[in-house]
Amino acid sequence: MEIIKTKLIQIGNSKGIRIPKHILERLNLKNKIELIIDDETKQIHIKSINTPRKEWEEAFKKMHKIEDDELLIDDGFDLEAWDW
């Protein structure tokens, strides 16, 4: 764990903090973050918001290409019973 002291800066009617570039890179903080507010301890935790499904479409295309995209579990959905 690393502790860094900084000052709050005025941003309009709000206040903010500057996060050094090396920390942004180290923690993979991009454009969106999640703030976790702990009222009991009076702490704010900053968490990176990653998009876990970002590369799924490409992965599905590759799976289809090598015919590795069959259902593993029968969901019971009957495509023939529907009028499209």
* CA nearest to 27, candidates 1, 62, 64: 1
**Is 9:15 a contact under the CB 8 Å cutoff?**
yes
* Maximum Cα interatomic distance, the chain, rounded to a whole number of Å: 64
pTM of the model: 0.51
What pLDDT digit, counting tens, does each position of 9-61 carry? 999 999 999 999 999 998 888 888 899 999 999 999 998 887 667 788 888 89
Is pLDDT of 71 > 90? no
Residue ranges covered by each domain of the chain: 9-73
